[in-house]
Amino acid sequence: MKIKNIILGLTFIVGFVSCESLDVEPQGFYSDKNFYKTIEDAEASMLYAYDGLTSVSYAPVTYYITELSSDNCIVKPDEGADAQAFVNWEVNSQNALLSQYYRSIYIAINRANAVIENVEGKGFNPEDEKRLLGEALFLRAFNHFNAVRAFGLAPLQKSLIDKLNETTAFLPENMEEAYAFLIEDLTRAIDYLQVNRVTGRVDKVAAQALLAKVYLFAASAKESGVPKYDTILESADGLYAKAAEYAGYVLNSQGEYSHDLDLQNIYNVNEPNGPEHIFILSFDRSGTQEGDYSKLSKYFTPWLGGATVYLKNVDDTFSPTHDGWSVFQTTDDLYTSYESTDKRRNELLVSEIFDESGATIGTTADGFIPYAFTRKYIDPLFEGDKTSTRPYLIRYSDIQLVYAEATANNEGLIQYNQIRNRAGVSELADLGGLSKADFRELVIDERQRELAYEGDRLWDLRRKNIVQQEVIQAAGLSPEVVAFYPIPQREIDLNPNIN
Amino acid sequence: MKKTISKHFFLVVAVLFCSLGLSAQITINGQVTDDAGIGIPSVTVVEKGTVNGIVSDFDGNFQITVKNKNSIIEVSYIGFEKVVMEVGNKTTFNIILKEDIEALDEVVVVGYGSVKKSDLTGSVSSVKMEDIPLKPSNSIDGLLQGQVAGVQVVSPSDNPGAASVIRIRGGSSLRGGNDPLVVVDGFPIGYAGDLKQISPQDIASMEVLKDASASAIYGSRGANGVIMITTKKGAKHTTEVTVSQQNTFSRFNSELNLWRDPVLMAELSNESRVNGGFVPVYIGAEDANGIYYPSTGELKNGAWPYNTRWDDVVFRDPVSNNTNLAIRSQTDKTQFSLSTTYYTNQGVYIDDDYNKLNVNLNIAHKIFDDKVTVGANIIYSKGNRNNNGNLAYWRNPIFPIYEDNNSANDYYLIGAQDYSHPIALTDKRTNKNEFKDFIGSAFVDIQLLPALKLKTQLNYKTGHSVTDYYNPKVYTEDGTFNNGSGGINNWDNDEVVSETFLTFDKTFNEKHKFNAMGGVSYQYNETRASDLKAYDFLNESLGNGNLAAGNPEKQSVSNSLSETVMYSGLGRLNYVYDDKYLATFTVRADGSSKFGSNNQWAYFPSGALGWKLHNEEFIRNLEVFDEFKLRASFGISGNQGISPYLINSRYGQDQYYVNGNWQTTIGPGYVVGQDSQSGKKTWGGIPNPDLKWETTRQFNIGGDFAFFNRRLKVTLDYYNKYTNDLLRERLLSPSSSYDRMWVNDGEIENQGVEVTIDSRIFDKEKWGLNATLLFSKNKNKVVSLGDELASGLNTDALTGMKYEFSGSQVEAFRSIPNILAVGQPINVFYGYKVDGIIQSEAEGLAAGLEGNLAQPGEFKYMDLDENGVINEDDRTIIGNPNPDFIASLNLSANYKNFDMSLFFNGSFGQDIFNTKSFGEPSTMPLRWTQDNATNNYPSLRDGRTVYMSDWYIEKGSFVRLQNFSLGYNLGAEGIAGVKKARIFINGTNLFTITDFKGYDPELGSDGIYWGGYPKLRNWTLGVEFTF
């Protein structure tokens, strides 16, 4: 009987004592239970947020949206219908490229929010905390700015999403709310960050530069009567002044970044830490998958027979490159916008290719090269399809032109002329006879030539409300249609808070 | 207690009398007959209390010499009531044995106990291995085929070690798995499919728990049914040594459909290329890759000498071997069984080999006056697999094997990127696997009180597998791109199950029979895997033997570890009133670490009622039924086929290039797959704290009937299985940054009828004939696929039906053939309808087709929505891969020492998507041409866009002679020391009656036929000796 009692007792002990341990610790992967314990964790998480920008669904897709829809590029004829839709201004809510872009924006935002939530007030060294917070706030604003420029009123994700009931975000009430959020994040980022250049990451200067661009977008959009921008409370002039103020900090209050006088050097893939690169995305050809390495060269370069071809450099040396897929093809509009002496046409657009010995293989004139293609994304050390070519996210010259446009005064004229001077085209002697609006139009034209293929043209056309005027395929469309792409259908289907 | 004492007393008295030798020995003789007067052979006649005994001859006659007239003789035979009598003064006995209903009443193993078959209330089928013909089979799956109504066993592959697919009462899950749980001697070792650890020779019986009343005791793992396996134990009071040897010889059951005439092949290829607007290949020139293809003229006049039969190079007639040695013994206190099986299996491809060794030991010993039984079961198995399958038997016959006939190693390659040379791959590539498995359990069984028993069993299982692979720099794609690639893959699994339960068994007032069981269970499972890879090898001679020799910068490692824990409480009450009315209630509670924090405990109750009408006076008076039992049950069981950790947030990992270095990046969101359309990554990792098991409610009503002295037995069952909370992935709004999340959403219904008819048609003195017919009909229906938007369902343009594609894309058709559609069976085919072949362009244009597709010789797709254009809106459901019913017939006969059995298996009414309906050597010559304006086949045209259509759907019904066996039992008298000897010949897959045009209609549940090569027909020769 004793034995029986003991066994009975044991049975129940074995059975019921340990019931509380149904929680199994996750093994072999990271989760909220075992991560964000150290500064190294936070650092890795910060880089995960940057890494979001390198996604195949994000970095290359940017150019479908910004270059194809503008007057800069058309797409190769046998590219899919979703790509053709950008050229033809027939993008609808089902467009897969647009959906990828939208989704990629929010993936990057969630990663930034993860840093913000797990670093702020978690007891890290204050210096590290500020630096990481600043970078994360910058990235949250950078991605939201993409969303606002592409989709207008798009959800603002202010916190990390890790529950089902957090997956149905509301739209901001109006542009005032959206911009206030962008401005707040960037203001805090500027406050938290120091000037500290690391290729592929951002510092205080990048935050100032981005804030200047945000203000400029709002200023010009409000001024040009872009739909929905009338809700922004601040006056256009006030916004221009703010843009000028922050662009001014970039130009005058730091010594790390500067105007690069050597045009080809700006786009030297081996000099990602050149003077111009306030924010450049990081890729390296030693990566194992696309997203670690880049194939941007393949998108912009035409198919040239499959073999290695050589491009002639300014110093008469030659740089080899693979050929490409002819996806983004230069329009005549863009090509003819350059004066014949413009170095940006003569040194950065390729109209003649050579073999290893320097003999000409073909030219655009003889039709061997189907279109003059950009050499902004050329990697002479390419390995197969793998290159280190990087998107230029914020360039010093961009901010010079932001300043010129925002001030539209003699200070601005100096910056404007510096850009033209480097390109080997005539300077504008003075602003005599030009209204502010006239000068700003000149700056917009200059931006097209200077920032061609860099993913900015559509935004300029939109904020100046001149899409229909500049892009033949958009002629006659309503201001709302050209100002914003539709929110992707899956978002509308699955998010009851958006309709 | 009274009974035993009197029995013992009697014995003692008997022995006393014997030892005193009160009188002289007497020889008695007699005949044992059944109540029909027919003599019963092999009846045991024993003088009680002695070892003196004999068996009756074929006519039931016996003669035995006993000590004296006070001797007691016992006459016994399985299935009959034992007769015990004192010899007295008689010397001749005519003994009539009555069939023993109770003894016929076999004991059936159910979860955590056993039940007399006649007291069953649930739907449980029992298969005794001694009752079924010995089939050469690598694993238990094959043994179950055709034995149990409602169980479908499909073996789509002949590959060595390949698993069969077992479905009990249809599939009730889309993503959570449909394999039944397998329990071996009380140890739930996992889900059916790959049970290589258990050797078929070691199995004594299998019970299949089909309805919820039976399977709910396994709770969240019971929804797909449960297979209970009992291994062989020592037989009473003997020591038996069994040796058996089987050799199996296999060969394709039909000719391969390959090109034998290169001229015809070349002509048709050229025709197809020209029709497609391409330069033909066989023109006596190099193609774009620089490979010379002879012209049809060169092939015709013999200037091109080669015509290689690649199938002869690649395939062989495989031989397999199975050797088993077993020793089994049982004394009053101890039983043990030791069995060793060595099995080798050749694949049909050269060097595609498999072998394994199984050792199975079980011991039980009684202590403390037989009140405590302790025991252990140990199974160890170890095996090797050399993977050399999928060699290119389809290779172009115009190319030779070697560069200059027969200098080995100088393989003839078709261009620089030829990765399919079968001999080169066989010689140079490594892909082999070694596995070791150990299953051990120890138990203590304590009779606490006469009516109360405690059993505790501790089970442990570990499995380990290592795969070695190396792809050389030439001959393989991966090796060429990486300049040699190799690796080692390790997999390791541990499982502990500890279970303790009490059983109370008592009859009150002779009418109230109670059997109650209650217990607890704990289960822990851990799986680890690691993969070590290296690339870019300087020297290939070591293969993957020295991975460090690869380029150090290109090495890659990955590993994983996952754990699950489950606690359970369980109970059952059986109640029988007056041997007429039966009731069973069970309940199980499962708490699993896989379940979300909001749903950590699941409860699975069931109840069943039975009524033995044959024990009612009014039925007995009819004198028709030997058994007449009605059963009804209802219960809830579950399916927890969820990957662990879906309830946790899961972070992703990548790298970012900073300061000249790659740095690891980690954060929320990880890659869960690829989008089927864009090929881009899809993101998951958001936890679902509500995630839980799938729930299946099953209602079962059935009856068991026996007539004509139990020579005809019929079992009928109807069931309705309704599964909800299906595990599925839902879509999330893209602004959440996640694409998918696992949820419980969706419903499926299965209902069906099962009939088993078992009859001893003839049961004569020297010969007998038994027949068993099984019939199972299952109808399933997708009731719901969850929220239309969250599931991202498509809408059928014609009917508005909601559906989603299921499975993966078939390249040649650029579409996914199967869909899950609300209101339809699982996996119906979806595509266009074809109304013959277009004979003129006008006909094509009128049909709504345009361009190339409107030309003569093209498929005439039908414009179902009659809008004048053929597009995706014209698709509809074009077939159903689920059979209307399956049936099987087992015939077994014996004559004197011969026994024979035939087993037919059939599946009826299913459709097959035959991807090889056109484009094979047998059908290409039948193409449409201007001169052969057929309506049966299209023209040959390279580059044709082919749509998934009903033109490719065929009827898949078949009847197959699955098994034939003929055995001969040598009389025990023949050889000294040999108790039993048997030789047999067995054939499987002997012939198939079907309209299906491909090699074989037995396919996986998606019903897609991929071509390949024929099935094997196997002949096995075997001998078995028992000492």
* Residue B215 to chain A, least CA–CA distance (Å): 21
Q: What is the mean pLDDT of residues B19-44?
A: 71
* CA gap B589, B587 in Å, rounded: 7
User: Which chain B residue is nearest to residue A43, measuring alpha carbons?
Assistant: B665
pLDDT in tens, B350-409: 999 999 999 999 999 999 888 899 999 999 999 999 999 889 999 999 999 988 765 656
**Where is pLDDT greater, at B11 or A388?**
A388
* Residue A169 to chain B, least CA–CA distance (Å): 7
CB contacts of B561 in chain A (<8 Å) are 27-28
Mutate to test the interface with B, among A2, A4, A11, A99 (most CBs of B within 10 A): A11
Q: Which of A44, A198, A282 sits opposite B666 (nearest CB)?
A: A44
Q: What is the mean pLDDT of residues B444-463?
A: 92
- Domain-wise residue ranges, chain A: 39-278+484-494, 284-389, 397-465
* CA gap B481, A443 in Å, rounded: 50
The 3-class secondary structure across B939-984, one letter per residue, is CCCCCCCCCCEHHHEEECCEEEEEEEEEEEEECCCCCCCCCEEEEE
Write down the pTM of the prediction: 0.85
Residue A50 above 70 pLDDT? yes
CB contacts of B679 in chain A (<8 Å) are none
Residue A302 above 80 pLDDT? yes
Query: Pairing between strand B26-33 and B92-96?
Result: parallel
Residue A108 above 70 pLDDT? yes
* Residue A73 to chain B, least CA–CA distance (Å): 23
Residue linked to tokens 């020592």: B234
The percent of residues in chain B predicted with pLDDT above 70, rounded, is 94
Residue A15 above 60 pLDDT? no
Quick one: pLDDT at residue B133?
Answer: 60
- The verdict on a CB contact (< 8 Å) between A491 and B735 is yes
Quick one: pLDDT at residue B897?
Answer: 85
CB contacts of A140 in chain B (<8 Å) are none
Cβ-based contacts under 8 A for chains A and B: 214
- The verdict on a CB contact (< 8 Å) between B656 and A47 is yes
Q: Which of A28, A157, A162 sits opposite B686 (nearest CB)?
A: A162
Q: What is the mean pLDDT of residues B608-624?
A: 90
- The verdict on a CB contact (< 8 Å) between B651 and A56 is no
Tell me the residues of chain A between 94 and 133 that have a Cβ less than 8 Å away from chain B. 96, 99-100, 102-103, 106-107, 109-111, 114-115
* Residue B512 to chain A, least CA–CA distance (Å): 26
Among the residue ranges B9-13, B45-49, B431-435, B644-648, the one predicted with the least confidence is B9-13
Q: Which SS3 state, helix, strand or coil, does residue A83 take?
A: helix
Q: Which SS3 state, helix, strand or coil, does residue A332 take?
A: helix
Quick one: pLDDT at residue B420?
Answer: 92
A32 touches chain B (CB under 8 A): yes
Would you state the CATH architecture of domain B2-102? Sandwich (2.60)
Do A397-465 and A39-278+484-494 fall under one CATH topology? Answer: yes
A37 touches chain B (CB under 8 A): no
pLDDT in tens, B518-563: 999 999 999 999 999 999 998 888 888 888 888 888 888 999 898 9
Average pLDDT, chain B: 88
**Token digits of residue A178:** 């959206």
Residue linked to tokens 């009123």: A153
- The verdict on a CB contact (< 8 Å) between A162 and B649 is yes
pLDDT in tens, A213-249: 999 999 999 999 999 999 999 999 999 999 999 999 9
A39 touches chain B (CB under 8 A): no
Output the CA torsion sign for A486, A491, A494, A495: negative
Quick one: pLDDT at residue B12?
Answer: 42
**A309, A111, A267, A455: which is closest to B669 by C-alpha?**
A111
DSSP symbols for A188-238: HHHHH------TTS--HHHHHHHHHHHHHHHHHHHHHT-TTGGG--S-HHH
- The domain made up of A39-278+484-494 has a fold known as 1.25.40
**Token digits of residue A57:** 């669904």
CATH code 2.170.130.10 region(s) in chain B: 105-233
**A374, A366, A382: which is closest to A449 by C-alpha?**
A374
* CA gap B37, B45 in Å, rounded: 18
- Assess contact for B716 and B627: CB atoms under 8 A: no
User: Which chain B residue is nearest to residue A270, measuring alpha carbons?
Assistant: B660
- The domain made up of A397-465 has a fold known as 1.25.40
CB contacts of A16 in chain B (<8 Å) are 520
Tell me the residues of chain A between 152 and 191 that have a Cβ less than 8 Å away from chain B. 154-155, 157, 160-164, 166-169
CATH code 2.60.40.1120 region(s) in chain B: 2-102
Quick one: pLDDT at residue B23?
Answer: 47
Quick one: pLDDT at residue A16?
Answer: 47
pLDDT in tens, B827-881: 999 999 999 999 999 999 998 898 889 999 999 999 999 898 898 999 999 999 9
* Residue A174 to chain B, least CA–CA distance (Å): 18
Q: What is the mean pLDDT of residues B40-57?
A: 78
Quick one: pLDDT at residue B101?
Answer: 55
* Residue B638 to chain A, least CA–CA distance (Å): 18
Quick one: pLDDT at residue A18?
Answer: 47
Q: Which of A30, A45, A168 sits opposite B733 (nearest CB)?
A: A168
Q: What is the mean pLDDT of residues A49-62?
A: 96
pLDDT in tens, B228-259: 999 888 777 778 898 999 999 999 999 999 99
pLDDT in tens, B295-349: 999 999 989 988 999 999 999 999 999 999 999 988 888 999 999 999 999 999 9
Q: What is the ipTM of this complex?
A: 0.93
Q: What is the mean pLDDT of residues A274-278?
A: 95
Q: What is the mean pLDDT of residues B661-683?
A: 87
**Where is pLDDT greater, at B133 or A490?**
A490
- The verdict on a CB contact (< 8 Å) between A166 and B741 is no
* Residue B440 to chain A, least CA–CA distance (Å): 20
pLDDT band at A353 (very low <50, low <70, confident <90, very high): very high
- Assess contact for B636 and B604: CB atoms under 8 A: yes
Residue B488 above 90 pLDDT? yes
Which phi and psi angles does B709 have, rounded to 5°?
55, 40
Would you state the CATH architecture of domain B105-233? Beta Complex (2.170)
Q: Which residues pair with B961 in a beta bridge?
A: B904, B991
Mutate to test the interface with A, among B456, B562, B666 (most CBs of A within 10 A): B666
Quick one: pLDDT at residue B85?
Answer: 80
* Residue A265 to chain B, least CA–CA distance (Å): 19
Quick one: pLDDT at residue A341?
Answer: 94
Output the CA torsion sign for B445, B378, B231, B886: positive
Residue B10 above 60 pLDDT? no
CB contacts of A18 in chain B (<8 Å) are 522, 567
Residue A106 above 50 pLDDT? yes
